[in-house]
Structures are given as structure tokens and as C-alpha cells.
């Protein structure tokens, strides 16, 4: 997935959609338009089925988003930053800045999404039953072509059905889906070894991936090509993601016990926040030719980053009076790590990929070093592997 289209932000989290999501949106609207026309007994000239299909598609969009926000908010409570939530071909993904550091955090973050989806199912089902009664609600849920269902009930029951399906699918113990992450959390709790738990959950995920592919191929040859191709493709994606997780766990095990403090540059070059922009450009950017520098206060506490492009935008006549503190990019919590952080926890770190480095701070927030992607790569090579 690329960055796709940014829609809006929630508590600083970028909400976006990948181009593939537009395909799913189109298919849902087309398919539901036909289904609602049959279910409601509407003529072909009626626009009501199309309107309901659009509402249902965006209701599904909202359900997926709430599911991912469930993961995101619990991750934030556990001190894990969320850079973005991206909706794509197979649902959504909340991009965490780092991996979890305990079985408890892993379990709570993993189960939060399905818990939100279950709540959506219950609320909508109660509303539908209260409005139409259990019998009519059940009939409408199975999209029977009676022509007697109301428009509102048709939308509600479809959302109940699709969210129920999403809930069951997500809870399958196929890593890296939510159910697979729950399995990893339990295995991690039982063994105390995150890497072995990841390998176990990943192996289980690969088995489910192969099962989906096999069933998909069977469906293709039994007259259901669309469903078969779709299921097989899901199997390929799950298998690939699980294989990647297993490979990463193998890399992590090679550097187990290595801390950020063991590999970081312990003499970082930082700009004081009271420094003028003119000094910053002359004494730091022109001298070292780096695109950014960490900024510290008088007590050497890390405050954020000064980006070269931001400093260059200040007019020359104002650079002597403008202060670095006025221009820095504040640290949202994802730009630094503790010097005691295990190096394996930085693998896949979003901010590290973006900047090429992270600031290493002590317990009081004082800047003690800078750990770069190159240093992590060197540690991996020294451990007998490569990036």
C-alpha cells in the first residue's frame, strides 16, 4: 500500500484510503443496488436501491474505521504511537510506530478491534429487532426477496450481517489477523518468548493461508470462480504476511539482548532551542550538511527536530532574531526511544524508516545519543544476518 488519499485526522492520526478501497466501494454499491431492488421489490427505474447501497457502503466504511480506531486508541494508551490508519482492499490497518513490548499490550490491542465490531453488531441488531420484531429482522438479514422489508431495516440488517462476518473472519487464528495476534499474545504469555510466539502464530497463519488458497481453488473448479479467486487471493496475502513475520522474528532473535545504548552514537550533535536560525544554518546545517538536527533545551532534554527546509523559509533579514524553538517540529512521542529499548523493537519502526534515525533519551528525557538505520543494519550483519 502507498499513502493513498488523506481524508481527515483523528487525534493526530491520519485517516486515509488506498486506491484499492475505491474498487471495493464500487463493487459493494453495484452489488447492493441489485440486492436491495430485489429485497424491497422496487422497479428498475427507482433510485432508492442505489441510495441505500451508497449509505450501506459508507456505513461499512465507518465500521472498518471504528474497528481500526479501537486498535489505535488502545495502542496509544499503551504508549505506542499510531502514524496512520489506512483502508485498503482487504479492510484496514492501523500503522503502529513500534511493536508491542508485552503479552498484555499485544492482547489488548489485538482484541480491541473485534470488541468494537461486536459492539456495532449488538447495537444495530437491537435497533433492528426493536424496530421490526425478531421475525422480520431475521428474514431481512438473509435478504429474502419478499418486497416487504423497509428501507431502513434493509440497511441495518446488511450492516449487522457484514460486521458479523468481519468479526468471525478477524478472529480466525491466522496471524497477522486479530485472532492470530491474540494467539501470539497467549503463546508469548505462556512461554515468555516473543520471537518463538511470533514463529508459532506465523506458522499457524501460513497454514490458514494455504487452506484459504486450497478452498479458493476448489470453488473455482466447482462453478464459483469469483468467490474462489477472492478467497485464494486472501490466502496468498495472509501467507505472505505470516512468512514476513516469521522472517522478522528470526532476525530479532539474532539481536536479542542488544539495546539501543549498545549501538547508538553517544555524542549526538544537537541544536539548543534558544539558538538563532542564523546560527543554526551557519554552524550546523552548512557545516554538517544534514537535513535535520535534534533540538534540546538548557537541560539537554529532547524537544523536537529542526528541518533544513523550515529554517530556509525564514527571510534572511529575520534569521538573526528568529529562534529555533519557534520552528522546531515537536516530538509527538515517536521520534525518540529509551536508551534501554531492545534493538529488535525498532525493526519496522515507522519514524525510523521516515527519518533514518531516532533520538535516544534517558529516563529524564535528556538526549543521550542517536541510533540510525545504518547502525541497526551493522548490528544485524554482525549478528550473522543482513537487512
**Distance from C-alpha of 153 to C-alpha of 142, rounded to nearest angstrom:** 12
Distance between first and last Cα of the chain = 21
- Write down the CATH number for the domain with range 260-382: 3.10.580.10
Long-range contacts of 314-320 (CB under 8 A, 24+ apart): 314/277, 318/277, 319/276, 319/277, 319/278, 319/281, 320/276, 320/277, 320/278
Against a cut of 0.85, is the pTM above it?
no
pLDDT digits (tens, 9 = 90+) for 245-295: 888 888 777 777 788 999 999 999 999 999 999 999 999 999 999 999 999
Query: What pLDDT score was predicted for residue 383?
Result: 67
Q: Maximum CA pair distance of the chain?
A: 78
Query: What pLDDT score was predicted for residue 344?
Result: 78
β-partners of residue 337 are 360
Complete DSSP assignment for 66-95: HHHHHHHHHHHHTT--EEEEEEETTEEEEE
**Distance from C-alpha of 234 to C-alpha of 166, rounded to nearest angstrom:** 14
Cell representation of residue 293: 538536527
Which phi and psi (to 5°) does residue 10 adopt?
A: -125, 115
β-partners of residue 93 are 86
Query: What pLDDT score was predicted for residue 54?
Result: 94
Query: What pLDDT score was predicted for residue 104?
Result: 96
**Distance from C-alpha of 269 to C-alpha of 367, rounded to nearest angstrom:** 10
Q: How far is C-alpha 266 from the chain's CA centre?
A: 32
**Distance from C-alpha of 175 to C-alpha of 239, rounded to nearest angstrom:** 9
Query: What pLDDT score was predicted for residue 2?
Result: 53
Domain ranges of the chain: 1-171, 176-254, 260-382
Given the C-alpha cell 487452506, which residue does it identify? 211
Whether omega before 176 lies within 30 degrees of 0, making that bond cis, reads: yes
Phi and psi based region of residue 233 (left: phi greater than 0; alpha: psi -120 to 50; beta: remaining): alpha
Q: What is the mean pLDDT of each run of 10 residues along the chain (387 residues)?
A: 76 86 87 87 88 94 95 92 82 82 94 97 92 75 57 89 92 91 95 91 94 94 87 91 86 80 93 95 93 94 94 93 92 86 79 89 94 87 59
Within the chain, residue ranges assigned H as helices are 19-40, 48-77, 103-132, 134-141, 151-170, 178-191, 194-221, 225-254, 260-263, 277-279, 286-288, 308-312, 350-355, 373-382
**Distance from C-alpha of 185 to C-alpha of 103, rounded to nearest angstrom:** 5
Amino acid at each position: 500500500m502507498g499513502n493513498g488519499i488523506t481524508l481527515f485526522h483523528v487525534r493526530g492520526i491520519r485517516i486515509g484510503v488506498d486506491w484499492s478501497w475505491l474498487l471495493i466501494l464500487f463493487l459493494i454499491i453495484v452489488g447492493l443496488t441489485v440486492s436491495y431492488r430485489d429485497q424491497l421489490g422496487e422497479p428498475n427505474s427507482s433510485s432508492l436501491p442505489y441510495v441505500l447501497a451508497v449509505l450501506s457502503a459508507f456505513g461499512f466504511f465507518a465500521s472498518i474505521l471504528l474497528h481500526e480506531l479501537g486498535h489505535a486508541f488502545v495502542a496509544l494508551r499503551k504508549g505506542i504511537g499510531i502514524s496512520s490508519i489506512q483502508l485498503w482492499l482487504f479492510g484496514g490497518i492501523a500503522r503502529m510506530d513500534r511493536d508491542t513490548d508485552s503479552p498484555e499490550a499485544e492482547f489488548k490491542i489485538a482484541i480491541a478491534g473485534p470488541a468494537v465490531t461486536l459492539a456495532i453488531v449488538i447495537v444495530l441488531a437491537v435497533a433492528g429487532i426493536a424496530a421490526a420484531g425478531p421475525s422480520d429482522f431475521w428474514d431481512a438479514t438473509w435478504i429474502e426477496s419478499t418486497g416487504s422489508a423497509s428501507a431502513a431495516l434493509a440497511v441495518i440488517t446488511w450492516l449487522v450481517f457484514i460486521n458479523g462476518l468481519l468479526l468471525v473472519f478477524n478472529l480466525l487464528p491466522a496471524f497477522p489477523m486479530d485472532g492470530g495476534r491474540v494467539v501470539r499474545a497467549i503463546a508469548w504469555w505462556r512461554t515468555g518468548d516473543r520471537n518463538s510466539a511470533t514463529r508459532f502464530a506465523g506458522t499457524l497463519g501460513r497454514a490458514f493461508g494455504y487452506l484459504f488458497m486450497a478452498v479458493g481453488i476448489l470453488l473455482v473448479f466447482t462453478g464459483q470462480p469469483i468467490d474462489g479467486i477472492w478467497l485464494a487471493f486472501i490466502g496468498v496475502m495472509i501467507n505472505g504476511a505470516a512468512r514476513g513475520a516469521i522472517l522478522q522474528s528470526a532476525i530479532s532473535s539474532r539481536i536479542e539482548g542488544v539495546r539501543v545504548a549498545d549501538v547508538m552514537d553517544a555524542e549526538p550533535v544537537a541544536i539548543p532551542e534558544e539558538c538563532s536560525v542564523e546560527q543554526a544554518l551557519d554552524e550546523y546545517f552548512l557545516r554538517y550538511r544534514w537535513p535535520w538536527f535534534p533540538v534540546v533545551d538548557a537541560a539537554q532534554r529532547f524537544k523536537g527536530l529542526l528541518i533544513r527546509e523550515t529554517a530556509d523559509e525564514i527571510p534572511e533579514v529575520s534569521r538573526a532574531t528568529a529562534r529555533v524553538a519557534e520552528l522546531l517540529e515537536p516530538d509527538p512521542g515517536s521520534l525518540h526511544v529509551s536508551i534501554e529499548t531492545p534493538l529488535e523493537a525498532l525493526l519496522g519502526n515507522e519514524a525510523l524508516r521516515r527519518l533514518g534515525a531516532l533520538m535516544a533519551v534517558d529516563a529524564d528525557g535528556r538526549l543521550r545519543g542517536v541510533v540510525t538505520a545504518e547502525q541497526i543494519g551493522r548490528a544485524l550483519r554482525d549478528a550473522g544476518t543482513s537487512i
